[in-house]
Amino acid sequence: MSGPGSETPAYRVWALPGIGEVQAGDDLAKLIAATEPGLVDGDVLLVTSKIVSKAEGRIVEATDREAAIDAETVRVVARRGTLRIVENRQGLVMAAAGVDASNTPPGTVLLLPEDPDASALAIREGLRDALGVEVGVVVTDTFGRPWRNGLTDVAIGAAGVRVLDDLRGGTDGYGNPLSATVVATADELASAGDLVKGKASGLPVAVVRGLAHVLAAPGEEAGGARAMVRVAADDMFRLGTSEAVREALSLRRTVREFTAEPVDPGAVRRAVAAAVTAPAPHHTTPWRFVLLESAASRTRLLDAMRDAWIADLRRDGKSEESIARRVRRGDVLRDAPYLVVPCLVTEGSHHYGDERRDTAEREMFVVAAGAGVQNFLVALAGERLGSAWVSSTMFCRDVVREVLDLPQDWDPLGAVAVGRAAGAPKERAPRDPEAFLTVR
């Protein structure tokens, strides 16, 4: 639609009066048609999800809103006090799962439509039957947004509308290629409608005219608003801080089989940065991490360790079959595309000349080094890297120091195999935290 006397692009948006209070079982298309909205082909209707929920009977008795949120929640994304950001049954990430206690009778709450795309399609088809018009329909709801104050309406359901405008492959006004530009058209429509609908004015439906190009062409499969939900694999902000830490801890599993995919050295260095935040005695830094990034360095170390291990086992009188079986246990290190050898350094430790206190002093440093390695493993899990912490280097420390040219006061604390897991880990047997607690 153009402005008067010009070719300047323009559109018009207005709210539809006369909808009235919506009851369970109402036909929203008929209610909208009854207002004599004057719709024409190419218009887009923006319908507040609240009246869709009411018409679909999504009002439930709930004196405890938190219980209703629990029932609609698939995954908690972040929690701060009583506020929860969750993924709900519709796949939407939002506050309180979209459960709404406003504009509904006391003791009840409104749930979001079960299938907002299907709801939008029903309204669209109903208006076609009632008024003979081809319009787009967007079902909207109010969202907060990360990093931005304030609320706005976004699309949670759509029919007949191209919800995303993919500009990738085109060029800007300077001829620069567009490689990442996908416009959330349906969200822009939703926010435009919210400016005239308001939150408490009793105007739950708006019309946009002049943007017919956002409607799908006859026979075109436009999809719905579900296409706007970012899939988990592409979501860089899937969790809140404390939830991310807990997930990383749960992902920290010993991986025995790795793919050949190379490991990003930057990811390992970020994990080391997390490792060296561990607590340590006397303000010391008892951790060192030797990164074996080349295949040659890994092979040279593992071959030397294997030879030393075989010699030890033969001195112990083990059979060749037993030795071969034990050596095979180290294959996880040989198969991994990246190795890290964490080392303990006791520089800064106190020496008391008393065996009991000197033993305790060393144990303090060993505990601190272990805390650093745990931080390292958890941080690797946060990078979606699998790991296996194997103790083998502790049994041939001199060999490891010689091959890697390490100082004599560096004590290897095993080796960590790092890489992408070749398959899903086995289910971990559940552990009841209460079994590990003693309360006094």
What six digits make up the tokens of 268? 């390992």
Domain-ending residue, one of 201, 234, 267: 234
Whether residue 139 is found in the same domain as residue 270: no
Is 65 within the bounds of a domain? no
| CATH number of the domain encompassing residue 25 | 3.30.1330.100
Q: What is the pLDDT of residue 1?
A: 45
Is 127 within the bounds of a domain? yes
The boundaries of the domain holding residue 50 are 12-58+113-234
| CATH number of the domain encompassing residue 386 | 3.40.109.10
Whether residue 197 is found in the same domain as residue 277: no
Whether residue 309 is found in the same domain as residue 164: no
Average pLDDT along the chain, 440 residues, taken 10 residues at a time = 62 94 95 95 96 94 85 88 88 91 85 96 96 96 89 95 84 74 92 85 92 88 87 78 74 87 95 95 95 95 90 88 80 90 94 91 94 94 90 90 96 95 84 92
For 187-219, b/e burial (b = at least 16 CB within 10 A) is bbbbbbbbebbeeeeebbbbbbbbbbebbbeee
Is 275 within the bounds of a domain? yes
Whether residue 215 is found in the same domain as residue 287: no
Whether residue 42 is found in the same domain as residue 139: yes
Integer angstrom CA distances of residue 293 from 277, 354, 376: 23, 42, 17
Q: What is the pLDDT of residue 169?
A: 73
pTM for this one? 0.66
Whether residue 223 is found in the same domain as residue 282: no
Residue 353 CA to residue 357 CA, distance in Å, equals 8
Whether residue 229 is found in the same domain as residue 254: no
Integer angstrom CA distances of residue 258 from 14, 255, 267: 58, 7, 16
